[in-house]
Structure 1
């Protein structure tokens, strides 16, 4: 990778980290569903797609921890720590799966996105089991379903609509060659 490309990815990753810090403040202002929109997830998923799995992994891990330290939200234990593992998995999985697929385009994007969403939620569940287990508390399957699916539906829908729309828009403007090998 050339120095210019590394610099571009580093700057773009910094932008996604900044979005991870700021977007929850904006969506938190929407009373009924603001916390369910998962704005940090969107930033990390885009980072993994646009910058690669390495950057997505690091930004995903750092963002919730840094936000907790700076703003006190999310609470460090167990929320921010579990989110760090979840978002790191998101950035890693989406970047890696998209890179490894033979053709790129909308279908590959959805395969990568859905794989990352499932993988990230499973990692979050394991992190919650470990973190709460260390404190002598149980993390039930019902709590997993509630946290991973039921309360996350608005965010899941937003991710499935917004991320492909952003990628197509970036492709149309020439910023990213997203559909380069679509058949």
Structure 2
């Protein structure tokens, strides 16, 4: 895939990362519970190289925070930057470079992303004296996000397969 097409796909991932959570919030569905920003990153990662997926994952929460005020820029969007960057890179690398099964890639990406979120929370509280207990934050993020993780396990593989077939997208 040429660089222009890859960058357009990356921009589309970011745009969907702003649009999907906005739709969720307009319908009064909690983003903290259903994790709508994660869906475009995880799906889009299948159609770009790992580095484009990483950049799209990193920029999406920051762009959303600046454009919509959700999530709050610091510390939440800042922390999500690391989580979604790792989601994107891991998902793309496993699917496109290692040719791992889509469900295995998704589960590994979800674990890697949440691990990055936890590490970012620990570092952020240490460096910036943020009033945030990283362990309680992670416990809350995981428990609150369980419905969103279930939604990801249901929708992401279906959406990737549907986009691959119907739009004849070439994967990353």
TM-score range for the pair, normalised by the shorter chain length = 0.7 to 0.9
Aligned residues: 170
The equivalent residue for 2:88 is: 91
Residue 135 (structure 2) pairs with residue 160 (structure 1): no
The equivalent residue for 2:65 is: 68
Distance 2:134 2:169 in 1: 42
RMSD between aligned residues? 2.0
Distance 2:164 2:12 in 1: 19
Where do 1:133-152 residues align within 5 Å? 133=126, 134-135=128-129, 137-147=131-141, 149-152=142-145
Higher RCO, 1 vs 2 (CA within 8 Å, ≥6 residues apart)? 2
Q: TM-score under structure 1 normalisation?
A: 0.83
Of the three residues 77, 85, 88, the one matched with 1:80 is 77
Distance 1:9 1:153 in 2: 32
Structure 1 gap ranges (5+): 179-183
Distance 1:93 1:165 in 2: 19
The equivalent residue for 1:181 is: none
Q: TM-score under structure 2 normalisation?
A: 0.88
Task: Rate the CA distance shift 1:18–1:138 in 2: closer, same or farther, 3 A.
Answer: closer
Looking at CA atoms only, which structure, 1 or 2, has the larger radius of gyration? 1
Q: Deviations over 1:39-91 (max 9, x none)?
A: 21111112221112111100111111111122222111100100001100001
Q: Verify the 8 A CA contact 1:68 1:74 in the aligned structure 2.
A: yes
Structure 2 gap ranges (5+): none
Task: Rate the CA distance shift 1:41–1:34 in 2: closer, same or farther, 3 A.
Answer: closer
Q: Verify the 8 A CA contact 1:33 1:154 in the aligned structure 2.
A: no
Q: Verify the 8 A CA contact 2:32 2:144 in the aligned structure 1.
A: no
SS at 1:28 equivalent: helix
Distance 2:55 2:110 in 1: 17
Distance 1:109 1:151 in 2: 24
